[in-house]
Every structure is written in C-alpha cells, then in structure tokens.
Amino acid sequence: MANPLLQFNDKGIYCAAGDFYIDPWKPVDFAVITHAHSDHARGGHKHYLSHHLSRGVLKYRLGEIQLETAGYDEAIYRNGVRISFHPAGHIIGSAQVRVEHKGAVWVVSGDYKTEDDGISVPFEPVKCHTFISECTFGMPVYKWKPPQEVHDDINIWWKRNSEEGRATFIAGYSLGKAQRILQHLDQSIGKVFLHGVIANTHEALESDGIRLPPASRLTPDTNREEVRKGIIICPPSAIGSPWMRKVQPFSFGYCSGWMTLRGARRRMAADRGFVLSDHADWSGLIKAIDATQCECVCLTHGYTASFVRYLRERGYNAHEAHTYYGEEDEPAELVHETGQPADIFLTAESGGNNPDRVLKGEDIQAGDQTGRPAL
C-alpha cells in the first residue's frame, strides 16, 4: 500500500511526495502555513508559503523570513504535488490547505469557523478523501449564538459603561478577535483605543491592504476623558496588569468561546464574558466535516477523544492525531505582573520605561521590540 499523502511526524504534518510540512512545530525546510497564529506559524523554517493576507503579520511576528504567498484557489506545485489555499473563515488570511497527488485529495483545516465574521473570507467546504480537522470546541455544550447578538450585547454594555463614567476594556486575541470586535463596535458611543500589541498587528494587516475601522493607539498623551467614554481593545495578557488597573474605574469584558462555561467565566473573573469564538462550534464542526464528503477524519486538537468516538458512531473512519496546536486558544488567566506599573497616564518624571515587564505567550511571539505594550 502506498504511503499516505500526509503523515504526522515529530516535526509536523508532512507530505513526503512533495517534501513539505504544513504548520510544523519544529524547524523544517519548507512550511505551508494555514494562518499566522503562533501555534501554527512558528519561527525557524527556511521557506514559508502562506496566503497573501498573512504576509504582514507573519513578517511582524517572525521577522525577516523567506516567504512566498498565494491567493485562494491558486495552485502551487511542489514535486508534482498540487497545493492550494481555501478560505477557513478563522481570521484574516486564514486558509485550509488542500493537497492533491495522484488522485488523492487531503485537506488540512488549520483553525476554522463556519459563520461569517464580516472581516475574513467565509469558510468554504472543500471535498476531499481525508480531512485533517481541528475540534477545539468539539463538545455539544458549545453552541454559538448568532454573532450579531453578541456584538449587540457588547455595544449595549459599552454604552452603559460610557454613560456611567467607566472605561471599557475588552479582551480578545490580538490577531483575529481584536479585528472582529473592532469591526462591529458602534462608534457613535465613543472612541476606540488599541493596546500597543494590537495597534502593531493592525499596522501589519494594513500593510497587506486590509482596511479596518478607525481606532487609535493608546498612549500616555491620550485624552483621559475620551478613554473613559471609549473602549480599549487589549490582548488577554493585559488583563489585571498595572497597565489596565491605572484606568479607574473600569469594567472589563472577555471574548472567547470558553466563556460558554460558568466555571471558565468565574476563573476569568471578568465583569462580562462574551461567548465569541473564531472556531467552529459543535454543530459547525459536524456540518463542515459532512460537507467535505470525506471518508477519513483526523483530529488534531481540542476534545479529540470524544469527538473521534462520536464521528465513528456516525460512520466515519476517524482518528486522533498528536500535535502541538491549540496553545493560542487557551483561555488566558489573570496575569499579575510585578515591578513598576506601566501607567498609560504616566508623566515624564515618574518614568514610563519598564523593559522588564513580562508578557505572556502571544505577545512575546508577537515580537514587540521592547517586550511591553507600546505606550
């Protein structure tokens, strides 16, 4: 029997026929990248292939890399193996990778969601023989509400905070969730401010021609009154930091699919938990898998064991795969930094430089030069 077209080895998902990897977690010669999140796009590979719209962020996060990009549905050949990107609807520039060789078609989903978020090209099912899928939220307790309802809730909450004189912090991953939140904010309520890491990410996206609604970087010079009436979009790592606590009083909300569970909401201890995810929910996963008309499913991360069992009961040839994906999706817990507070309202003499401030995973990988939010 011929080797399978794609195999899981200790470096990532490997295509022997084409000699390339998809989203490898260890350095390789040729890496095809589904999207720019840190658990899928790691540093140290010799060549990268990604979608056009991942270019700016990949360069921002990984520095100078040798990067080739392609559009959706555009065929790229390596050693006669046909590679193409297809919309995954997860974040801007996210793609499923379709690999075809000698009549066999495999698709690697990367991360995906099935609903239209208004900023990334919506998910398109791709027919294949084997589908390598994520299942981050592969349990039936995860059912998303229509996103518009969540965005309405966010705006209502922001409006009330603004009227009652509280600043509003809303936390979500800097790449993906932050743009999605921004896209649906009702800017008649107040101004939108961005944490430095997110502002940098936006500059990177804009370098690829993405146009985002207006929002300004939060700096020590930002007008206090406007901040109090406004909303500040920040990464999860900023929650509970001195940076945030300096803006009193405030209310903070957290956007994540994990906010479905009361236990996770209580752990996060946010004033508001908004169930807003860039991953497919239970029924989204099942619909997506059914639509590929595949025979075989490999599950890379999430509730893989339960989901495999469920798919088998539905007649699929389903398997679990061991990968290193999913880290970016861990709900970030409160971070209490020590050291000098990085006050967004610091005056010159009180000293705003604090290069020792420790940031968590996402932000470190975001490659911020100073390792702290740009003030």
Partner 1 sequence: MKDFASLFAALDETNKTNEKVRVLKEYFISVSDEDKIHTLALFTGRKPKRQINSSLVKLWAIEMANIPQWLFEESYQVVGDLGETIALLLPETTGRQDRSLGEWIAEINNLNTLTEEERKQWLQQSWSVMDQQERFVFNKILTGSFRVGVSQNLIIKALSEISGLEQSTLTHRIMGNWDPLTFSFYDLLQEKDASDDISRPYPFCLAYAIQETSDQSKTAEEMEEALGDPGNWQAEWKWDGIRAQAIHRDGNIFIWTRGEDLATGKFPELHPFLSALPEGTVLDGEAICFENGKPMPFNVLQTRIGRKNLTKKILAESPMAFIAYDCLEFAGDDIRSMPLRHRRQMLERLHEHSAFQDTFRLSPIVPFESWQQLYDLRLRARENQAEGFMLKKKDSVYQTGRKRGDWWKWKIDPLSVDAVMIYAQKGHGRRADLYTDYTFAVWDGDKLVAFAKAYSGLTDQEIKQVDNYVKRNTLEKFGPVRTVTPALVFEIGFEGINRSSRHKSGVALRFPRILRWRHDKKIEDADTIDTLRAML
Beta strand 13-15 pairing with 20-22 = antiparallel
Residues that contact partner 1, how many (by CB under 8 A): 25
Q: Find, among 133, 107, 111, the residue nearest to 38 by Cα.
A: 111
> Max CA-CA distance within the chain?
72
CB of 24 to partner 1, least distance (A): 18
Which of these ranges, 41-49, 64-72, 186-194, 263-271, lies near partner 1 under the rule CB under 8 A? Answer: 263-271
The tokens describing 155, both together, are: 């705006």
CB contact at 8 A, 113 and 124:
no
Binding of partner 1 at residue 243 (CB under 8 A)?
no
Choose, by CB under 8 A, the member of 70, 210, 261, 358 that binds partner 1: 261
**47 by DSSP, 3-state: which?**
strand
Residues between 113 and 152 with contacts to partner 1, criterion CB under 8 A: 139-141, 143
Binding of partner 1 at residue 310 (CB under 8 A)?
yes
Q: How many CB atoms lie under 10 A from the CB of residue 272? A: 18
Binding of partner 1 at residue 306 (CB under 8 A)?
yes
| Spatial strand order in the sheet of 95-101 | 76-78, 81-87, 95-101, 104-108, 130-135, 296-302, 317-320
Binding of partner 1 at residue 364 (CB under 8 A)?
no
Toward partner 1, which CB reaches closer, 48 or 258?
258
Which residues lie below 8 Å from residue 15, measured CB to CB, with a gap of 6+?
5, 6, 7, 21, 22, 81, 99, 101
**318 by DSSP, 3-state: which?**
strand
CB of 271 to partner 1, least distance (A): 6
Binding of partner 1 at residue 10 (CB under 8 A)?
no
Which of these ranges, 108-116, 123-131, 182-190, 304-312, lies near partner 1 under the rule CB under 8 A? Answer: 304-312
CB of 343 to partner 1, least distance (A): 22
Binding of partner 1 at residue 305 (CB under 8 A)?
yes
Which residues lie below 8 Å from residue 173, measured CB to CB, with a gap of 6+?
37, 235, 236, 278, 328, 362
The tokens describing 123, both together, are: 């998910």
For the window 319-348, what string marks contact with partner 1 as x by the rule CB under 8 A? -----------x--xx--------------
Toward partner 1, which CB reaches closer, 72 or 250?
250
Which of these ranges, 47-55, 64-72, 300-308, 342-350, lies near partner 1 under the rule CB under 8 A? Answer: 300-308
Gap between the Cα atoms of 258 and 302, Å rounded: 12
Contact set with partner 1 (CB under 8 A): 139-141, 143, 260-267, 269, 271-273, 303, 305-306, 309-310, 313, 330, 333-334
